[in-house]
Amino acid sequence: MIQPLRNTHRRIFLALALLLPALFLSGIAFRHTWPVSAKSKSPTLGSVPPGATR
């Protein structure tokens, strides 16, 4: 009764151990590069204000 659940659980985590780091790292790698305010010459291209949401 319980061993199939344990096996399912193990398989789920083996899959998650592959998928989630890939999703996380891809999400970080391909994210938008926001302009940095100190280097920006245009006042309209300032960095995202701290605390602002998308």
Partner 1 sequence: MSHQYQAIGWNRQKRVYDVVVLAAVMLYIALFIGLGALLFPYATAETLIIRAAGSAAFLLLHVVLCIGPLCRLDSRFLPLLYNRRHLGVVTFLLGAVHGIFAIIQFHSLGDKDPLVSLLTSNENFRSLPDFPFQQLGFLALLILFLMAATSHDFWLRNLTPPIWKTLHMLVYVAYALLIGHVTLGLLQSETSPVLAVVTGAGLVTVLSLHLAAGSRERTVDLKELNPAGKGFVDACSVESIPEKCAAVVSVSGERVAIFKFDGKISAISNVCRHQNGPLGEGKIIDGCVTCPWHGYQYLPETGGSPPPFTEKVSTFQTQIVDGRVWIDPKPKAPGTRVEPSKISVSGVSS
Question: Which of 20/45 has CB closer to partner 1?
Answer: 20
Q: How far is the CB of 29 from partner 1 (least distance, A)?
A: 9
Q: How far is the CB of 43 from partner 1 (least distance, A)?
A: 16
Q: Which tokens sit at 15?
A: 């899959």
Q: Rounded to 5 degrees, what angle do the CA atoms 40, 43, 46 make?
A: 60
Torsional sign, CA 15, 17, 23, 26: negative
Footprint on this chain of partner 1 (rule: CB under 8 A): 1-3, 5-6, 8-10, 12-14, 16-17, 19-21, 23-24, 26-28, 30-32, 34, 47-54
